[in-house]
Structure 1
Amino acid sequence: METVYVTGHRNPDMDSVCSAWCYAALKNRIDPDHSYLPVRCGAMNAQTRYVFEKLGIEPPLLVKDVYPKVADVAKRDVITLDVMDPVYTAIKELDERTLSMIPVFQNMHEFKGIVSLHEISGFLISDNLHTRPVYRFLTDNFKRVLPGYFYRIGEEREISAPIMIGAMPYEISVQRIRELGDVKPILIVGLRNELINYAVENDFPAIVLTGLDEDKPVSVDFSSYRGSVFVSHIDTAETVRLLRLSAPLKDIINSDPVSVQSDENYETAKARLVNSDYRGLPVFEGKQFSGIVTRRCFIGKPRRSIILVDHNEISQSVPGAEEARILEVVDHHRLGFERTREPISMKIEPVGSTCTIVFHEYLFHGVEIDRTTATLLLGGILADTVMLKSPTTTEAERRAVEELGKLAEVDWKSWGQDLFSHSASIKNRQARDVVESDFKEYFEGGVHFGIGQAEVVTLEDVPEVKDELLAVIGTVRMKKSLDWVLLLISDVMKGESILLSSGFEAGEKKLIYKKTQDNEFYLPGILSRKKQVLPEILRVVEELELA
């Protein structure tokens, strides 16, 4: 089932967060074919945190971006092998399933490394570089690679030994064995009793018998022998070939492979794989194995599906929105939307809050609004309209507030006062948070400007932090390469504001507001950035363009 992210704008306010949560809840109830996940792309303010904590619910998930990630293309249901499995099994699986690589574990859950054709070829090449290589064998693997049966299972289950084929005359075979010194080989031999007895007497770790008729008993006395005896049903050459492949995977795996994290950027992971010697890499979530990616995973770049609420401009949205598939827009701001690849659903209303539009959507679809949802919608409307005092407030908000207050079982006026009482004092907040937590950028008439807004319950604290705020405003201006930066600080109780300006002299001279100090203007009766301040800034910019 595809996940669709429902996201508010960067630096989200309460209306943005609550509308994302409530609209995702609605979509999950009316569309069973998709999973809708509310997300946010910034820290919540004090008001919003208070509401979610009071209701005891999880706020929308914080996401850094919606760029495609490794998790979007990773294969999770993959075949795995154990470190004690024979090399033969890895070769068989890689070949028959045309796999790029196989993760290898110990005790089913502890990731130990990977095996691919790269490790297999290295194992086979090293086999041919030595005059007589020493192999590690697990006797338990004999039966997994060789058709046959154990005539006797010895005491040692794990053996390191070379292979000796008993095909030469007895004296020459013994001479070659003695040339190995203290190293005792695994003997692969037909029914040559004299040589078999020599292996028994000298305590070879294992003997593999070939060319033995099933109805013909073995006439050698193995009663004192401590090693294993295996009877192979295939000829000596095939027995030798397959026996080499009974070596456990732990001897050949890459125990420290190049890997990627599941939340890693798609393009970054793709580049890492392409620039490696491998055709597949393991994927981890932290230290926990979670799947694999192969080169085939990166043939087609995936696109996240998102719904924008409380904004419609890509520049204000979550990073990566420009590459995502935008399905819907639910907003109450002016249109600044860019061209889309496919038709989308637009729900734009000239109201004071996105939560008002979401409330209308619940009514339109006939979906019952529970107490929690009603409380969140009510909070979003009251916060964005400053308890219906903002000039952006419409009759739609007034009707919605009355109805939602009943559904939430609260007195909306008391709830609103409680809500704003939890706004952090401006002098107790970081200056950067005050400037950037609700900041929007605009480009009009050749002027690139930004306006931040902070809602407070008193303006008396502003003089104490003004210099610090102006310093941050200057920093933001340079960092974002803006011509003009403004900060609207609104007293929601008295319905008045102070506007701090970065010092765009040409624009400041044309403002209708009363200048009280350098970089400071007094705005009585003004609370709305969107409906009151922005139109004035746009007027000024237009006059500058025409001048």
Structure 2
Amino acid sequence: MLPEKTENRPVYVIGHQNPDTDAICSAIGNAEFLRTHGEPGAVAARCGEMTLRTSWVLEKAGVPEPILIHDVTPTAGTICRRDVISVSPDDTFLTAYRRMTENSLQTIPVIDADYNLHGLLRYFDLLSLLMPLNMTEMNVRSVFSSLSNIATTIDGKCLTGESLSEEETQNILLVGASSEPSVRTRLANYRRKGIIRDLIVICGDRPNVQLYAVEHGVRALVTTSGAFPSLDIIETAQTTGTCILSTPWDTASVGQLIRCSRKVREQVQKDYTVFPENMPLPELRQAAVKRKQALFPVMSIKTNKIIGVLSKTDLVDPPRTRVALVDHNEFSQAVKGVEEAEIVEVMDHHRLGTQLSTRDPIRFLNEPVGSTSTLVARRFYHRNVEPSQAVAVCLCAGILSDTLNLTSPTAARADREMLEWLTGIAKIDAKKFTEEFFATGSLLRSKTEPSVIIQADRKTFTEYGHKISISQIEEIGMFGLEDVQEGLVRELRKLVEKEGLKLACLLVTDIVTHDSMLLAVGDEEALENIEYERLGPNLFSATDVVSRKKQLFPAISRALKTL
């Protein structure tokens, strides 16, 4: 049996693609809150690479990076049953039969001690061990097994003292229930054919038949119903090399049980389909429906050993990955596969998207504040619980970065209240922390590749039926923008072509002057409708604009509305 799979499935607290500091820090904070409020398995996660500034925050706070998850689509590995009922290749028919009937199984995997899969055993296949397809007299009487397995199966006690052989051989069963002359004649015939040592004689308390069997030197004598041969017969058997087994079972039962002593390796099915643990649910359903196979082993992609099993019914309504979304509420911005996940809650401060839907009611908090970290901090505050100092540092960073130290037009009273509360717990100075934060990891000054700059903090939206992309970076001054402007425009054009966008924009915000420069590529009519001063074909001056959510997006929305 494989190790059991835990019933407590984790909740992955995760922000949007191309995560900014608020997405990462609110995930860390909310995961800590959930772990102490009903979700002990809550884990902070991310679905993209972190920025240098976010990495600086986590290093300063002493917090490990959230785990990286690219896809939350249920897979064979997450769905499969790991408490696998199995048999080994050396288990007997009886062991397999009992295990399958006790657990109401029609198919069972055959696995060795190292979890190597040898095949599948079907209930129907067990019949072949009881009754051969080629119905000759010799085939019906023959059983391929070892004396050791036979003794175990019939609860037999060896009376002749020798160690029972585990070597599997062909055995011929002879029930000594006919007349004594008839039994003697049949034994003589087997001796003439040279197969007397293949014979296993089964009889009850019939001393003469017992003696005939051991005198002829059969392989084994099985005395049924608890019968014990005389000492003379046992000594004769020791001389002729005949093993004597005494069993409490009656003669008719022993004949059937011996047939059940065969090892299942004889009937293991080798023609079967397995699924790798990383196969996603949609592919599993397509593959399973085409096959008549009832049970599908799931294999580790690293070791190629079995880790669980699946049936077709497991794919009807499988357990889904549990996620708590922070800093976004639109599927287009979420981790891949979120449509197949179980969303347990959403916490955000952006506009409501049109794609989000769930099968069950969930906790959903969406408020017009400057940062999702503010909402997370308030959860602690309302419960009269303080976050750890490390998490308090992270939540401060989320608020300070998203509100530009409360100077952004998105900043609300709640942001100010929570930041004041958190800085006392974190033991930091907000102004100094903000200066150090934005001085770290300048994408323009470090001459970062244009493609990396575009993807650093990018969100996609659908507005009036048009798909748009808006990226944003914050800088101390615009030094270096002119040097990479041409490369940035090229990357925006690639994005428009690749994703079929109406517009692709990059907002470069100066956190000192609270002004921005906007690079935009796409539909010319839409570009003409942008209300900011146009300095060039793709460059706009966005004076007093610092917020993507509250200032830039509404302006882009107005530009698209007139198309």
TM-score (norm. length: structure 1): 0.86
The reply on whether 1:248 has 2:255 as its aligned counterpart is: no
SS in structure 2 at match of 1:82: coil
The reply on whether 1:144 has 2:161 as its aligned counterpart is: no
Distance in 1 (CA, whole Å) between partners of 2:475 and 2:193 is 91
SS in structure 2 at match of 1:81: coil
Q: How does 1:253-402 map to 2 (within 5 A)?
A: 253-254=268-269, 257-286=272-301, 287=303, 288-337=305-354, 338=356, 340-402=358-420
Distance in 1 (CA, whole Å) between partners of 2:239 and 2:59 is 76
SS in structure 1 at match of 2:417: helix
Q: Is the CA contact 2:45–2:69 (under 8 Å) kept in the aligned structure 1?
A: yes
Shift of 1:103: 3.8
The reply on whether 1:223 has 2:238 as its aligned counterpart is: yes
Partner of 1:410: 428
Give, as a single letter, the amino acid of the residue that structure 1 aligns with 2:438: F
Partner of 2:13: 6
Distance in 1 (CA, whole Å) between partners of 2:331 and 2:505 is 21
Taking a change above 3 Å as real, the CA distance of residues 478 and 436 of structure 1, as seen in their structure-2 partners, is same
Taking a change above 3 Å as real, the CA distance of residues 77 and 213 of structure 1, as seen in their structure-2 partners, is closer
Distance in 1 (CA, whole Å) between partners of 2:409 and 2:14 is 26
Give, as a single letter, the amino acid of the residue that structure 2 aligns with 1:81: V
Q: Is the CA contact 1:498–1:523 (under 8 Å) kept in the aligned structure 2?
A: yes
Distance in 1 (CA, whole Å) between partners of 2:514 and 2:241 is 95
Q: Is the CA contact 1:4–1:35 (under 8 Å) kept in the aligned structure 2?
A: yes
SS in structure 1 at match of 2:238: coil
The reply on whether 1:208 has 2:214 as its aligned counterpart is: no
Q: How does 1:59-70 map to 2 (within 5 A)?
A: 59-70=65-76
Deviations 1:303-324 (A, max 9, x none): 5543322112232223333344
Q: Is the CA contact 1:307–1:326 (under 8 Å) kept in the aligned structure 2?
A: yes
Distance in 2 (CA, whole Å) between partners of 1:341 and 1:81 is 39
* More off after superposition, 51-60 vs 9-18: 51-60
Shift of 1:376: 0.7
Taking a change above 3 Å as real, the CA distance of residues 449 and 299 of structure 1, as seen in their structure-2 partners, is closer
Partner of 1:506: 525
Q: Is the CA contact 2:400–2:434 (under 8 Å) kept in the aligned structure 1?
A: yes
The reply on whether 1:30 has 2:37 as its aligned counterpart is: yes
Instruction: Note the residue ranges of structure 2 that are not aligned, 5 or more in a row.
Output: 1-7, 177-181, 204-208
Distance in 2 (CA, whole Å) between partners of 1:421 and 1:256 is 63
Q: 2:254 aligns with which of 217, 239, 242?
A: 239
The reply on whether 1:187 has 2:205 as its aligned counterpart is: no
Taking a change above 3 Å as real, the CA distance of residues 461 and 247 of structure 1, as seen in their structure-2 partners, is farther
Taking a change above 3 Å as real, the CA distance of residues 117 and 459 of structure 1, as seen in their structure-2 partners, is farther
The reply on whether 1:16 has 2:23 as its aligned counterpart is: yes
Shift of 1:505: 0.9
* More off after superposition, 165-174 vs 44-53: 165-174
Question: What is the root-mean-square deviation of aligned Cα atoms in Å?
Answer: 3.3
SS in structure 2 at match of 1:536: helix
Q: Is the CA contact 1:16–1:354 (under 8 Å) kept in the aligned structure 2?
A: yes
Matched residues, percent identical? 28
Distance in 2 (CA, whole Å) between partners of 1:225 and 1:383 is 92
Instruction: Note the residue ranges of structure 1 that are not aligned, 5 or more in a row.
Output: 201-205
Q: How does 1:105-124 map to 2 (within 5 A)?
A: 105-107=111-113, 112-117=118-123, 119-121=125-127, 123-124=129-130
Q: 2:169 aligns with which of 151, 160, 185?
A: 160
Q: How does 1:485-504 map to 2 (within 5 A)?
A: 485-504=504-523
Distance in 1 (CA, whole Å) between partners of 2:29 and 2:412 is 21
Deviations 1:282-339 (A, max 9, x none): 3344435433223343343445543322112232223333344444332111222455
Partner of 2:103: 97
Q: Is the CA contact 1:423–1:456 (under 8 Å) kept in the aligned structure 2?
A: no
Give, as a single letter, the amino acid of the residue that structure 1 aligns with 2:73: Y
Distance in 1 (CA, whole Å) between partners of 2:430 and 2:226 is 93
